[in-house]
Structure 1
Amino acid sequence: MKKIHLLLIILLYTFFSVRSFAAGLAEFKGKVIDAETQAPLAGATIYITDLKAITNTNAQGEFILKNVPSKGRFLLEVRYIGYKTHSQYIDLANPVSISVALETSIIESAEVVITGSPFSSNNKTNSLSVVSIGKDKIAQSGGTNLIDAVSKVPGISQVSTGGAISKPVIRGLGYNRVLTMVDGAREEAQQWGDEHGIQVDQFSAARIEILKGPASLLYGSDALGGVINIIDDIVPAPGDFNGSFTSTYSTNSGLTASSLMLQGNDNGFVYRGRASYKNAFGFGYKDAIVPNSGFNEFNLNGMVGLNKSWGYSHLSFSRFNTNIGLVEEGPDDAGNYLNEDGDVISRSQAKDRKLGLPFQNINHYRAALNSNFILGEGQLKTTFAYQKNLRKEFEESMDEAGLNLDLSSYTYDLKYYFPNAGKWEPAIGVQGMYQKNVNEGDEFLIPDYSSNNIGAFAYLKRNFEKGAINIGARYDYKKIEGKDLNFDGEEVFNGFNNKFSNVSGSLGFAFEIAKNLVLKGNAGSGFRAPNIAELGANGRHEGTFRYEIGNSNLKQETSLQFDLGLEYTAQQVTFGLNAYANHIYNYIYPGNFNNETIDTENENGSVETLPVYRFVQTDAQLYGGEASVDFHLIKSLHFENSFAYVKGINRADDQPLPFIPAATISNELRFEPVVKGLSDTYIKVGVSNVLKQARFDSFETQTNGYTLLDAGFGTSIQTKNGKFNVWVTGQNLLNKEYYNHLSRYKPAGIYNPGRNVTFGINVPFM
C-alpha cells in the first residue's frame, strides 16, 4: 500500500512537472471600485480558491493575477472590509479586464465561497446546509480548543471532557458520524473514544466550514452526520513575506496559549511555518478547582508548495503533541476533591500544572500532499496523506503506559472536474484509506486491527440564472479485520473479519425565489461502517467512568435525510430557517442495560464497580431545525439571535435516543463604534439559554436548563505591518453552576467550567 501511494505521487509529479514547462502563462487584470462613489478601493483581496492564486489592489484599485493558466473557468472572489464579498466566474481563455463594483455592507456575513463541495461555489447555489466561521470569530470566542470555539453555531454542540477535549456533534450526531477534514484529508485519531478530541492546532485554522447533514456522497463513511472542514490560511500574494504572533490568557484554568507564524510567496514558491504552545492547570467552577484536569500542548506545522500556471501543489506537515490529565472521581458530598489517602486537595494543589496519574500522552503526525493540476480546461485535484497517531495512557506509572495504541493511516483522494461552460458541472472521484492499529501496552480496550476501504462517486451540477440543481451517486466498500488476543492465559478479544458495502446518493437544489430570498432543499443518504470500538471493545477506558463491550455482529448504519432551508439577506435584516428529518437504520449506540456492572481492579489494588455499556442497534429518527434572525437597524449596531432543536427517537420502543443535546436559544448584541485611530472596534453582550433536557435514555439523567452571560470587546490598530488586534472575552460571567447534557464529567458530579475571562493579542510583523 505504501509503495502504491509513493509510486502514484512520483508518476503524477513527473508527468505534471514536465507538462508545466509547456503550460501557457497568462495574466488576468481588473479593477475594484466602490459601487456608489466609483472611487477605487486600494488593498482589496483578489483570490481564486481552485488555483490558490491571490493578489491585492494598488492605490488605483487595480490588480493583476500572474502565472494563471491560459484557459479554464474559475470562481473569482473579491473581499474588502466593510463591503459585501463579491464572487463571479471568469474565463481565462477570454482574459477581458473586469471591473468589480463592491457594495457597502453593514452585516458581517459568512464567506460566500464554499469549498467543501465538488465545485467551489457561491453559497446561493449550494444546496447543502453550510456555515462558515472566520478566524476572528474563532479567536474572539474564548474557546479552549477548536471545537469549543465553534460550539455556539446553531446545530453544533460538543461532547466535552473538561477544557482540553471536545468532540463535535452536528444535529445530534457525533463521534464517527462526524468527519473532520484537515489539510484536505480526513483526520484519523481514534475518534471512537469519548475523551479523544481532534488533533489540530487551534491557531492554524483560518476558516472552518461546517457541513450539516449526510455528506457520504463526497466523503464516504463517517460523514453520515456532517463534516468539520478546517481550512488553513490563504498564501500571501507574490513577493510578500509576513508573520504574526498570537497570545491569549484565560483566568479560569490559567490557560496560556501562544502561536508564532511566518509565511511567504517567492514568485509562486509558497511556504509557511507555525509553532504553538498551550498550558493550563485544572478548570474550576464556583469555589472548586478540578484536580488533574489540566493539559499542555506543543504543536509544529508547516507547508511548502508551488503555485504555477499548471495549478498548485502543497505539501503540509504537522506534529501535534498533548498531555491531558484524566479525572477518575468527582467531589464528595461536601463538594471537596480527595486524594488517594482521603485528604482534601487544596486549591493551590489543584492549580499545580504538573499532571498526575492518570493522564494521556498523544502524538499525532500528519503529512498531506494537496495538488490541483490544470488539464486543458479540466482539473485534477489530488490529496495523499499519511497520519500516525500514538496514544498512551499512564495509570500506574509516569514512565510506562498501560494503554498504548499505535495507529497508522494512509488516505488518498482523487477528483477530476470536467471542462464546463458554467451550466453543466460534472465531476468524478475515487477515495480510499488503509489503516493498521497495534496495541503496544499491557492494557487493552480495542484489538489490533487492519482495515481497507475504497469509494467512487459521480456528481453533476446544473447552474441556472438564479440557482442550481445537483445530483450524485456513490459506492463504498470497507473491510476490517480484528485480531484475536490471549493475554496471561485469558482470552481478551475474539478475532473477526467483517465486510461492508453501500450505495448512497444525493439530490438537491438552491433557487432565488425572490430578491435576496433563497430556497434550498436536499435529499441525501448516508453510510457508516461500525468503528473498531463498537465491533471489538472489551475493557475500561480511563476518564469514561464505564466498561465497554463491543459486538462484532453489528451491521452498517445507513440513513436518509431531508433538508429544507430558507435564507434571506438584505441590508438591515437577515434570517435563516432550516428544518430536517433524518431516519437512521441500524443506529449503533452504547447502553447500560439491566443495570449490568463489573468489578475492576484499580492501580492501587482496590476493586471498583463500573457500569457495563454494550453496543447495540436500533432504527432511529432524528428531526429538528435551526433558525436565526439578525437585525442591523443601524450600521454600528447588530442584534443576532438563533435557535436550535433536535429530537432523537429510538424506533424500537419510541423512547428517547441517548446523548441528544438540549435545545438552545442564543442572543448577542454587538456594537461597533467608529473610533478615531482605531478599526474593527466592537463591544458585545451575549446570553445563551439552554433548555431542560427532559428526554433521555433509561441510563441517563435529566439535565436542568441554565442561562449563561457572555461579553467581550476588542479593537485593532493599523501599523505598517498590518493590524495589531487586542480583545477580551468573558464567558459565564455570573459563574453559574451547571451541567451540559453532553458533558462526560456529569455522571461524576463535576460541573462545567465557571467564570472565565480571556485576554488576547495578535501582532503582525514584516
Structure 2
Amino acid sequence: MKLKFLFSLLLFTIPAFLFAANLSSFTGTVTDAKTHQPLPGATVTLSQLRISTVADVNGHFTFNTLPSRGRYVIEVRFIGYQDMVQTVDLSANATLDFALVPSIVETHEVVITGTPIASNNKYNSTSATVVNKDQLQNGATNLIDALAKQVPGVSQITTGPGISKPVIRGVGYNRIVTVNDGIKQQGQQWGDEHGIEIDQNQADRVEVLRGAASLLYGSDAIGGVINVLEPLAPAPGQLKGEVLSSYSTNNGLTNSSAMLTGNENGFVWRGRGSYQNAYNFKTPDGYYINSGYNNTSLSGMLGLNKQWGYSHLNFEYFKNNIGFNDADPGDPLYTNDKSRTLDFPRQDIRHYKLALNNNFIIGSGSLKLDLGYQKNQRRELDEPTPALFFDLNTYSLDAKYYLAETNGWQPVFGVSSSEEHSVNKGTEYLIPAYDRTSAGAFAYIKKTWNQNTFNAGLRFDYVKNNGKQLILEDEEQFAGFKNTFNSFTGALGYTHVFNDVFSFKANAGTAFRAPNPAELGSNGVHEGTTRYEIGNANLNPERSYQADATLEFGHNIVTGSLGIYENYIHNYIYASGAKGDQITVPAEDPDGSPETFDVYRYGQVNANLYGVEGNLNIHPTTFIHLDNSFGYTHAQNTSLDRALPLIPAGVIHNTLRLEPKVKGLENFYVYVGVDNFFKQYRIDPTFETPTNAYTLLNAGAGATLHIGTQQLKLYVSGYNLTNKRYYDALNRLRPGRFSQEDPTYGVLNPGRNITFGVYLPFNIK
C-alpha cells in the first residue's frame, strides 16, 4: 500500500506542472579576467536546480528552462582558473558575465549542497571536502576506498578490497549517513562486513561532511555525511555521456561503466550500467582464499526541469556477490588460485531503490520534497539455500521549505519520516524481524553580513522499535522488544572570511542516535564475521556533544587548512568479545559436527574522541605541486579507562605531483606519493591486538589525448609498490579480530596493485 501511495503521489505531482510554459532563460559569457578572451568549455552549474552546461567557442552559455524567480548559487569552473561561486537572483538577472582569474592552485570556492542551505564552502561552517570524478578515478577498489585516500579524517573498515565501511573522525557504522539521490541509504549498516551498496562509478562528485549532521539528517548522523551526487542534467538540446574502464593487477579487478544523459526542452533523463569482477586478492604471502567478488549496477533517471522547479524519478538496482573464507585456526589462508568462480560461503546482496526528488517554487520560497523506497536483500550462503537472509523494506519522506532571504536572513523548516520493515527468510537467525518508525522536524536559520555568517538550528526526533518474538522448536530465539526514543538536538555555526587568504569556521552542537535492532536484539551466529552476537534490549540512545574549529588559508603558492575537534559520546554502543567467552552451536546436519564461536555482546560506555586533521599544499611553480594531508584521532573509553576499539591509526599522506607541458598531450601529470601510518597501540585489550607503523609507496601518471575534437583520458596508478607486508588498524581480518582463539591468526592487507584506466567523456549538441 505504501508503494502504491508513492506512485500515486508521483502521478499527481508531475502532471500538475507538466504543461507549464513561459520558461525563464538565463545567459552569459565566461572570459579570462586579464585577457578578456572567451573560455570555451567552461562549466556553469546550478546545483540546486540539478542542471549544468558548457560554454561554447565564444564563451557563451544559456539556460532556457529555469524558474522565473528565486536566488540560486551558480558555480563556474575552468581548469587553470579560480572557481567562481556567486548567488544569482533569477527575477533580477537575465544576463550575467563571469571573468575568471588564472590560478595554479585550487581554491575553497566550491558549492556544498549537503547542508541545510547550499552555499559556497568558504561561507559554510561545516567542515566539508569535495572529491570530483577525476579524483575518484585513482585506482581505488570502491567508493569508500577512494575517499579514504583523498579526504583528511576519513578512514575505512575493510574486509578485503571488496568491502569498505566509512569511518569519519573515528566513528563509523550507523553513525555515518550515506546519501544518494537525496535519500539516506538504508541497508544493513550495522554489520562489520556490510558495505554501502552503491555503484562507485555513478558519482560525479562526493561531498564529505565531517562532524555532527543530526540537525538535517536525524538519528545516525553523529559522525558525518557522505553525499553522493550523480551527474547533473545538461542544458536543453544537449546530450552527453561517458564510458570508463579499468583493470587492477592485484585481484584482476575489471571495472566498466557507461552513462548517457540528455535534456529535451526540460525533459531530462539519464541511464547507466556498470559491472565489476575480481578474483582472490593477493597479499605478500599469497592469494587469500575465496575473496573474489562481482557486482552489477543499473540506474536511471526521468524528470522535468520547468519554470515551477524540477521533479526527477531515480531508480537503481545493485547486485553484489562476495566470497568469504570460514577457515579455522591452523587451516591454510592462501592459494595460487585466480579463479573468478566464487565458492561457499559467500554473500548475495541486492539493493533496489526508487527516489522521487522534487523542488517546487511556491510563492517567494521553494519546497524540496524527496520520497524514497528501498528494498535491501542480504543472503549469506553456506550452500545454495541462504543460511541468513535479511529482507528490509524502507519508505522515507523528507520535506524542506525555504523562505525567501530577507536582509541576509535565510530560514528553513523541515520534516522527515521513515518506516522500516525487516523480515528473516533464511534457515538461520541473527537479528529478529522488526518494524522501525522514525520521525523528525527541524528549524534552521542562517544570517550573512559583511564577511560573516552565523547559523543555528533545533531539531526533534522520535524513533520507535518493535522487535518480533521468535520461538523455534519450543525454544525462544528472540524475546522481542518494544521501545521508543526521542531527543532534542541543536547546532550553532559561525564563519568569518578575513581576506582572500584566510577564513575561519567553527561549530558546536549535540547529536542523537537511537540503538538499531541488531544492537537491541541480536542472538545468533553472524556468518560473515564468524562469531556469535548477543544484543541488549535495555540499551539507551547515544548522545553526542561536539565542537570543532578550522582555519583555512590559500595563496598563490601555499594553500591548506588546520582543524581540531572533540566529540564526547554518552552511552556509546559497540560489540566486544572477551577471551574464553565462547558458545558451541549444534550442526544443522545430523551428521555434522558442532561449531564453537567467539561471543560478542553489545554494551555501552562513555567515550571521548578528539583529534586534529588538515592539509598543506605547496605550489612553487605552475607544474610542481606538493600535497600533504594528515589526521589523528585519540579515542578513550572513559567508563573503563582504556582505549576505544576500532580506531584508525594516525596517518600522513605526502604526494609530489608534476604537471609539465608535453606537446600533443593535455593535462599530463605524474606523481609519487608516500603514505605514513603510525603504530596503533591504543586498543581494547579484550579482543584487539596492536598494529605496527608502516609506509606505502605509490605512483601514477595520466594525460588527455585528442582524437579530433573528442577527449580520451588515460591513467595508470600504483599502490603499495614495494609490496609491503602490513596490517591496517581497521583491517577486520587482522590478528585478534579474526579469531580470539588464536590471536596470531590473521590476513595481511593487499600487496602491490597497479591500475590501468581509460575515461571517455563526450558531448553531443
- Using the size of structure 2 for normalisation, the TM-score is 0.95
By how many angstroms is 1:84 displaced?
1.0
Residue 402 of structure 1 corresponds to 387
| Shift in alpha-carbon separation, 1:89–1:546, aligned structure 2, 3 A | same
The 3-state SS of whatever aligns with 1:218 is helix
Residue 496 of structure 1 corresponds to 481
1:554-584 deviations in whole A, cap 9, x for unaligned? 0111111001100001111102001001111
* Counterpart residue type for residue 723 of structure 1: Q
1:185-220 deviations in whole A, cap 9, x for unaligned? 000111101111011111100111011011000100
Residue 604 of structure 2 corresponds to 617
Write the distance in 1 (CA, Å) between the matches of 2:89 and 2:407: 10
1:223-238 map, 5 Å: 223-238=221-236
Residue 73 of structure 2 corresponds to 75
By how many angstroms is 1:464 displaced?
1.6
Write the distance in 2 (CA, Å) between the matches of 1:679 and 1:508: 42
The 3-state SS of whatever aligns with 1:402 is strand
The 3-state SS of whatever aligns with 1:619 is strand
Instruction: State yes or no: 1:210 paired with 2:195.
Output: no
Write the distance in 2 (CA, Å) between the matches of 1:495 and 1:663: 41
CA contact (8 A) 1:53 1:68 kept: no
Residue 712 of structure 1 corresponds to 700
Instruction: State yes or no: 1:510 paired with 2:495.
Output: yes
Residue 760 of structure 1 corresponds to 757
The 3-state SS of whatever aligns with 2:572 is strand
Write the distance in 1 (CA, Å) between the matches of 2:108 and 2:725: 33
Segment drifting more, 88-97 vs 532-541: 88-97
1:145-181 deviations in whole A, cap 9, x for unaligned? 1111111221000010011110000001000000000
By how many angstroms is 1:517 displaced?
0.4
1:92-145 deviations in whole A, cap 9, x for unaligned? 1112532211011211446610001121100111001011100101012x1111
By how many angstroms is 1:603 displaced?
7.0
Write the distance in 2 (CA, Å) between the matches of 1:369 and 1:565: 36
Instruction: State yes or no: 1:626 paired with 2:623.
Output: no
CA contact (8 A) 2:671 2:701 kept: yes
By how many angstroms is 1:263 displaced?
1.5
By how many angstroms is 1:489 displaced?
2.4
1:523-562 map, 5 Å: 523-562=508-547
Write the distance in 1 (CA, Å) between the matches of 2:587 and 2:197: 29
* Counterpart residue type for residue 520 of structure 1: K
| Shift in alpha-carbon separation, 1:95–1:741, aligned structure 2, 3 A | same
1:60-71 map, 5 Å: 60-71=58-69
Write the distance in 2 (CA, Å) between the matches of 1:351 and 1:488: 43
1:267-312 deviations in whole A, cap 9, x for unaligned? 2111111111111111011141011000011111111111111111
Q: Which runs of 5+ in 1 are unaligned?
A: 338-344
Write the distance in 1 (CA, Å) between the matches of 2:431 and 2:37: 64
By how many angstroms is 1:245 displaced?
1.5
CA contact (8 A) 1:368 1:385 kept: yes
Instruction: State yes or no: 1:607 paired with 2:605.
Output: no
* CA RMSD, 1 decimal: 1.7
CA contact (8 A) 2:85 2:109 kept: no
The 3-state SS of whatever aligns with 1:692 is coil
* Counterpart residue type for residue 729 of structure 1: S
- Using the size of structure 1 for normalisation, the TM-score is 0.95
User: Structure 2 residue aligned with 1:101, among 94, 99, 102?
Assistant: 99
Residue 340 of structure 1 corresponds to none
Write the distance in 2 (CA, Å) between the matches of 1:358 and 1:388: 23
CA contact (8 A) 2:539 2:603 kept: yes
| Shift in alpha-carbon separation, 1:535–1:621, aligned structure 2, 3 A | same
Residue 408 of structure 2 corresponds to 423
By how many angstroms is 1:720 displaced?
4.7
By how many angstroms is 1:594 displaced?
6.0
The 3-state SS of whatever aligns with 1:596 is strand
1:162-181 map, 5 Å: 162-181=160-179
CA contact (8 A) 2:63 2:236 kept: no
1:198-252 deviations in whole A, cap 9, x for unaligned? 1111110011101101100010011011111101012122211232211110000
Residue 147 of structure 1 corresponds to 144
Residue 724 of structure 2 corresponds to 736
CA contact (8 A) 1:549 1:615 kept: yes
| Shift in alpha-carbon separation, 1:522–1:476, aligned structure 2, 3 A | same
Write the distance in 2 (CA, Å) between the matches of 1:467 and 1:354: 58
By how many angstroms is 1:329 displaced?
2.4
1:336-375 map, 5 Å: 336-337=332-333, 346-347=335-336, 350-375=337-362
By how many angstroms is 1:614 displaced?
0.6
* Counterpart residue type for residue 149 of structure 1: A
Write the distance in 2 (CA, Å) between the matches of 1:714 and 1:751: 30
| Shift in alpha-carbon separation, 1:470–1:346, aligned structure 2, 3 A | closer
CA contact (8 A) 1:320 1:364 kept: yes
CA contact (8 A) 2:157 2:165 kept: yes
The 3-state SS of whatever aligns with 1:84 is coil
| Shift in alpha-carbon separation, 1:440–1:110, aligned structure 2, 3 A | farther
Segment drifting more, 93-102 vs 693-702: 93-102
CA contact (8 A) 1:124 1:467 kept: no
1:244-255 map, 5 Å: 244-255=242-253
CA contact (8 A) 2:380 2:528 kept: no
Write the distance in 2 (CA, Å) between the matches of 1:139 and 1:550: 40
Residue 258 of structure 2 corresponds to 260
* Counterpart residue type for residue 200 of structure 2: Q
Write the distance in 2 (CA, Å) between the matches of 1:379 and 1:553: 42
Residue 454 of structure 1 corresponds to 439
Instruction: State yes or no: 1:727 paired with 2:711.
Output: no
Residue 661 of structure 1 corresponds to 648
Segment drifting more, 125-134 vs 280-289: 280-289
The 3-state SS of whatever aligns with 2:48 is helix
By how many angstroms is 1:482 displaced?
0.2
Write the distance in 2 (CA, Å) between the matches of 1:422 and 1:158: 43
The 3-state SS of whatever aligns with 2:137 is helix
CA contact (8 A) 2:25 2:94 kept: no
Segment drifting more, 364-373 vs 486-495: 486-495
CA contact (8 A) 1:110 1:132 kept: no
Write the distance in 2 (CA, Å) between the matches of 1:446 and 1:144: 30
The 3-state SS of whatever aligns with 2:691 is coil
Residue 341 of structure 1 corresponds to none
By how many angstroms is 1:30 displaced?
1.8
Write the distance in 2 (CA, Å) between the matches of 1:731 and 1:165: 18
CA contact (8 A) 2:65 2:236 kept: no
CA contact (8 A) 2:108 2:121 kept: no
Residue 640 of structure 1 corresponds to 627
Question: How many pairs are equivalent?
Answer: 749
Write the distance in 2 (CA, Å) between the matches of 1:606 and 1:308: 66
The 3-state SS of whatever aligns with 1:39 is coil
Write the distance in 2 (CA, Å) between the matches of 1:82 and 1:307: 31
| Shift in alpha-carbon separation, 1:318–1:720, aligned structure 2, 3 A | farther
